[in-house]
Amino acid sequence: MYNVPRRLSSGLGREESVDVRYRTPVVAFACLLAAAFLLATCGVGPPAVPHPVAGRDDCRSCHEAGRGDASRFPQDHRSRGNSGCDDCHFLERR
Protein backbone atom coordinates (compact mmCIF):
# COMPACT_ATOMS: atom_id res chain seq x y z
CA MET A 1 0.00 0.00 0.00
CA TYR A 2 2.81 2.42 0.88
CA ASN A 3 5.70 2.17 -1.55
CA VAL A 4 7.56 5.17 -0.20
CA PRO A 5 10.97 4.16 1.19
CA ARG A 6 12.08 5.90 4.36
CA ARG A 7 15.41 7.61 4.58
CA LEU A 8 17.52 6.71 7.58
CA SER A 9 20.52 8.64 8.72
CA SER A 10 23.49 6.49 9.70
CA GLY A 11 24.93 9.34 11.73
CA LEU A 12 27.93 9.59 9.41
CA GLY A 13 26.52 12.35 7.23
CA ARG A 14 24.95 10.03 4.68
CA GLU A 15 21.44 8.76 4.27
CA GLU A 16 20.40 5.26 3.33
CA SER A 17 17.15 4.27 1.71
CA VAL A 18 15.47 1.37 3.53
CA ASP A 19 12.08 0.00 2.62
CA VAL A 20 10.28 -0.51 5.94
CA ARG A 21 8.26 -3.43 4.57
CA TYR A 22 11.42 -5.55 4.33
CA ARG A 23 13.04 -4.56 7.60
CA THR A 24 10.49 -6.17 9.94
CA PRO A 25 10.56 -9.69 8.40
CA VAL A 26 14.35 -9.64 8.26
CA VAL A 27 14.62 -8.66 11.93
CA ALA A 28 12.02 -11.29 12.90
CA PHE A 29 13.90 -13.97 10.96
CA ALA A 30 17.20 -12.97 12.60
CA CYS A 31 15.57 -13.23 16.04
CA LEU A 32 14.22 -16.70 15.25
CA LEU A 33 17.65 -17.84 14.10
CA ALA A 34 19.24 -16.49 17.26
CA ALA A 35 16.64 -18.23 19.43
CA ALA A 36 17.12 -21.54 17.60
CA PHE A 37 20.89 -21.25 18.02
CA LEU A 38 20.58 -20.56 21.74
CA LEU A 39 18.19 -23.46 22.28
CA ALA A 40 20.48 -25.81 20.38
CA THR A 41 23.65 -24.78 22.19
CA CYS A 42 22.41 -24.13 25.72
CA GLY A 43 21.09 -27.61 26.41
CA VAL A 44 17.47 -26.56 26.61
CA GLY A 45 15.14 -29.37 25.68
CA PRO A 46 14.56 -33.01 26.55
CA PRO A 47 17.55 -34.77 28.10
CA ALA A 48 19.48 -37.31 26.06
CA VAL A 49 19.32 -41.02 26.94
CA PRO A 50 22.60 -41.56 28.85
CA HIS A 51 22.56 -45.37 28.66
CA PRO A 52 22.51 -48.02 25.93
CA VAL A 53 19.00 -48.99 24.83
CA ALA A 54 19.79 -52.41 23.34
CA GLY A 55 17.58 -54.91 25.16
CA ARG A 56 15.80 -52.12 27.03
CA ASP A 57 12.62 -51.69 25.02
CA ASP A 58 10.42 -50.92 28.03
CA CYS A 59 11.39 -47.44 29.26
CA ARG A 60 8.49 -47.45 31.71
CA SER A 61 9.80 -50.47 33.61
CA CYS A 62 12.62 -48.41 35.15
CA HIS A 63 11.50 -44.80 34.77
CA GLU A 64 7.96 -45.18 36.11
CA ALA A 65 9.20 -46.24 39.53
CA GLY A 66 12.62 -44.56 39.38
CA ARG A 67 14.36 -47.92 39.74
CA GLY A 68 18.14 -47.72 40.26
CA ASP A 69 19.57 -44.44 38.95
CA ALA A 70 16.68 -43.94 36.52
CA SER A 71 14.93 -40.61 36.77
CA ARG A 72 11.17 -40.72 37.28
CA PHE A 73 8.73 -39.65 34.60
CA PRO A 74 7.43 -36.08 34.88
CA GLN A 75 3.70 -35.78 35.56
CA ASP A 76 2.90 -34.96 31.94
CA HIS A 77 4.60 -38.21 30.77
CA ARG A 78 2.54 -40.60 32.93
CA SER A 79 -0.06 -41.31 30.25
CA ARG A 80 2.45 -41.76 27.42
CA GLY A 81 3.56 -45.18 26.23
CA ASN A 82 7.03 -46.47 25.34
CA SER A 83 6.61 -45.97 21.62
CA GLY A 84 7.10 -42.18 21.72
CA CYS A 85 10.17 -41.84 23.95
CA ASP A 86 12.64 -41.64 21.09
CA ASP A 87 10.59 -38.93 19.37
CA CYS A 88 12.14 -36.42 21.76
CA HIS A 89 14.93 -38.20 23.67
CA PHE A 90 18.00 -39.12 21.63
CA LEU A 91 20.93 -41.36 22.49
CA GLU A 92 23.78 -39.46 24.09
CA ARG A 93 26.86 -39.48 21.86
CA ARG A 94 30.07 -40.52 23.58
CB 93 within 8 A of CB 51: no
Write down the mean pLDDT value for the chain.
Answer: 77
Q: Which residues pair with 49 in a beta bridge?
A: 91
Is the pLDDT reported for residue 2 higher than 70?
no
45: nearest Cα among 54, 36, 55, 33: 36
More confident residue, 15 or 69: 69
- Give me the mean pLDDT over the 62-74 stretch: 86
Q: How many Å apart are CA 68 and CA 85, to the nearest integer? A: 19
